[in-house]
């Protein structure tokens, strides 16, 4: 089921997830009281055991979004930014106080966020542009058009160590007035690279239905890209490409098939495992799926809501933050996020 076609079954799916056996007795609107090890964390392959923190539980840090997305960690400020697309805002969760405040509203329906090599916020906006927030708070528009045509609705973004910006443009923000503004699609659903000096855009992937989340492997030799838009009945894949000279992609191939549901946002840890948001797969599926570099599903983190995106953060990059439907969750793990944003 595609992310924008779930409306009729969303309530039933959410109710089933909340009633799942692993969640029995847990009241998410109250402080966690969970017997360790947390049954929401599941080992499916012994390789996952080393990444589990036995005396840590999944925590719901906040709820109140309509569709939470795009978490990015700011270690220098000890806060997390994340998007609430339908409410047209970027929110800030502060580690010291645990409070959530508005960072920017309106946000031009911001979706995916990351930081560049100078620590500046890079944002994909469903308002059909990619922007950079400067250190003084001003917003610079990096790209609105490609070959004279408007972008569809940029979705997710990563930055290479050479400074180039790579982003997906599946167009979800122009499909309705809920996460943007309904409009005709002017461009194919591409993945782009922005040159760090000229900011010239080039297409690096053009054969995906709706390219969505993306992340580099720790050594940046590979780029993983989620496709959330295959036709009904077709697999919902995460693809992987070889990165050539930090400028182009080659040898595209299937990394994993998400099976009953779909991925969305993805991140790599320092060992090269891919931590994938998971949704629309029913009870026992939604949350986070963890894949070894060989593509084997080795673990799951089950949530009561479909997860949209995630990132590693905290002082030691060992806290996994998960933007999931209406809420923000976190879990300490024995893994560290890769150095790439």
101 and 144 Cβ atoms separated by less than 8 Å: no
Using the predicted structure, report yes or no on whether residue 1 has a pLDDT greater than 80.
no
Average pLDDT, the chain: 92
Per-state percent for the chain, helix, strand, coil, to nearest 5: 10, 40, 50
Provide the domain limits for residue 263. 3-332
Inside any domain, residue 341:
no
Inside any domain, residue 240:
yes
Inside any domain, residue 191:
yes
CATH of the domain at 228: 2.120.10.30
268 backbone φψ class: left, alpha, beta (φ>0; ψ -120 to 50)? beta
Inside any domain, residue 134:
yes
In this predicted model, what pLDDT tens digit does every residue of 133-177 receive, in sequence order? 999 999 999 999 999 999 999 999 999 999 999 999 999 999 999
Six-digit token pair at 213? 């989340």
Maximum distance among all alpha carbons in the chain?
57
Which residues, at least 6 apart from 311, have a Cβ–Cβ distance to it below 8 Å? Answer: 71, 72, 73, 80, 267, 320, 321, 337
200: phi then psi, degrees, rounded to nearest 5: -75, 135
* pTM (two decimals): 0.92
Q: What is the count of structural domains for the chain? A: 1
Inside any domain, residue 305:
yes
Nearest alpha carbon to residue 80 among 97, 66, 96, 95: 95
Using the predicted structure, report yes or no on whether residue 24 has a pLDDT greater than 70.
no
- The three-class DSSP label of residue 276 is strand
Inside any domain, residue 152:
yes
Inside any domain, residue 339:
no
Inside any domain, residue 214:
yes
If you count them, how many residues does the chain have?
Answer: 341
Rounded to an integer, what is the distance from CA 87 to the centroid of its chain?
Answer: 18
């Amino acid at each position: 089921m595609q992310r924008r076609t779930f409306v009729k079954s969303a309530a039933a799916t959410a109710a089933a997830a909340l009633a799942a056996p692993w969640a029995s007795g847990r009241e998410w609107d109250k402080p966690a009281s969970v017997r360790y090890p947390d049954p929401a964390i599941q080992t499916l392959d012994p390789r996952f055991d080393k990444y589990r923190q036995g005396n840590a539980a999944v925590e719901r840090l906040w709820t109140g979004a309509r569709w939470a997305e795009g978490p990015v960690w700011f270690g220098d400020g000890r806060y997390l930014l994340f998007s609430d697309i339908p409410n047209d805002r970027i929110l800030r969760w502060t580690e010291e106080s645990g409070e959530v405040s508005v960072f920017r509203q309106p946000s031009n329906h911001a979706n995916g966020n990351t930081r560049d090599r100078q620590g500046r916020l890079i944002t994909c906006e469903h308002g059909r542009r990619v922007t950079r927030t400067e250190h003084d708070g001003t917003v610079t528009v990096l790209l609105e058009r490609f070959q004279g045509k408007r972008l569809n609705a940029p979705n997710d973004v990563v930055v290479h160590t050479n400074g180039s910006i790579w982003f997906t443009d599946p167009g979800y923000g122009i499909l309705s007035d809920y996460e943007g503004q309904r409009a005709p699609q002017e461009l194919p659903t591409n993945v782009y690279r922005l040159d760090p000096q000229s900011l010239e855009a080039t297409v690096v992937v053009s054969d995906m239905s709706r390219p969505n989340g993306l992340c580099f492997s720790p050594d940046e030799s590979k780029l993983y890209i989620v496709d959330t838009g295959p036709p009904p009945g077709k697999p919902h894949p995460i693809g992987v490409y070889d990165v050539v000279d930090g400028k182009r992609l080659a040898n595209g191939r299937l990394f994993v098939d998400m099976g009953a549901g779909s991925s969305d946002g993805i991140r790599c840890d320092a060992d090269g495992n891919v931590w994938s948001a998971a949704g629309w797969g029913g009870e026992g599926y939604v949350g986070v799926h963890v894949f070894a570099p060989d593509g084997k599903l080795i673990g799951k983190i089950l949530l009561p809501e479909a997860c949209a995106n995630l990132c590693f953060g905290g002082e030691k990059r060992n806290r996994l933050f998960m933007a999931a439907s209406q809420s923000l969750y976190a879990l300490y793990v024995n893994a560290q996020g890769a150095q790439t944003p």
